[in-house]
Amino acid sequence: MEKINILNTINYIEVEKIDDKKRPVVVVVPGGGYDHTSVREGIFISQAFNKAGFHTVTLRYRETLDLYPAPLEELLFAIDYARRMDCADKNKIILIGFSAGAHLVGLANEHYKEYKYDSKPNLNILCYPVTLSNDYFTHRSTFKYLLGDDVKNIDKLNMVDIVRHVGDDFAPSFVWHTATDESVPVFNSIKLVEALILKGIKCEYHIFPEGPHGLSLASKESAMDDKRKEMPYVARWFHMALDFIHNTLD
């Protein structure tokens, strides 16, 4: 694994190449409410995709708690880096985000044209995403850590609302959530999928009937001894997402 600091900060990316063969690259964006980056949504996800034949780049963007738009630029840098790798299939750059990390993925889809990087995603996997910033169903602390004192500014909140700004070039997206998510209500996904469908964006969506927030792979390994987060029924999402990738990009 190679660790690379980004944009003159102590935030960094972890690059895991399987070999020198040209392969799709998955950019992994862990959640953590913009307060930290989750362990279970980082290394376990990277390893799972490596085993499935993908190179990975994992973004560690909360070593310093920089406010918006710094996390967005760091993700766009990571996408650009992934695409420039000699072993990358440059037309198969896949973003996977969890919770607040999925919110950041949404921002990348909506604002990549505003930056100098070659950072247009080819496909998204959005896992229990935060998408609503100014709504009854929002996850308020996410925006507290993203916007700081501007969290009370309605215009700033609307600016980082993912559903509000879905455009025609939002990448094809695989979305999943659990109906009983106690932290990020499932309506964040429902509203996003509705917006994607209205824009004609290819998407696949799964609502699992139960499960807590932050499931990651929902496997024994990613649960890290938290039995609540070991759910074989939900763990099927990973292979469903692989099928979506191959059906869409191959």
pLDDT in tens, 74-123: 999 999 999 999 999 999 999 999 999 999 999 999 999 999 999 999 99
Helix axes 100-111, 70-84, angle to 10 degrees: 70
Q: What is the CATH number of the domain that holds 90?
A: 3.40.50.1820
Q: Which domain holds residue 171?
A: 2-249
| Number of structural domains found in the chain | 1
Q: Which pTM does this prediction carry?
A: 0.97
CB 24 within 8 A of CB 93: yes
The whole-number mean pLDDT for each consecutive block of 10 residues of the chain, a chain of 250 residues, reads 95 98 98 97 98 98 97 98 98 98 98 97 98 86 96 95 97 98 97 98 98 98 97 98 98
Burial call 176-206: b when 16+ CB within 10 Å, e when fewer:
bbbeebeebbbbbbbbbbebbeeeebebbbe
Which 8-state DSSP code applies to residue 132? -
Residues 41 and 128: their CA atoms lie apart, in Å, by: 12
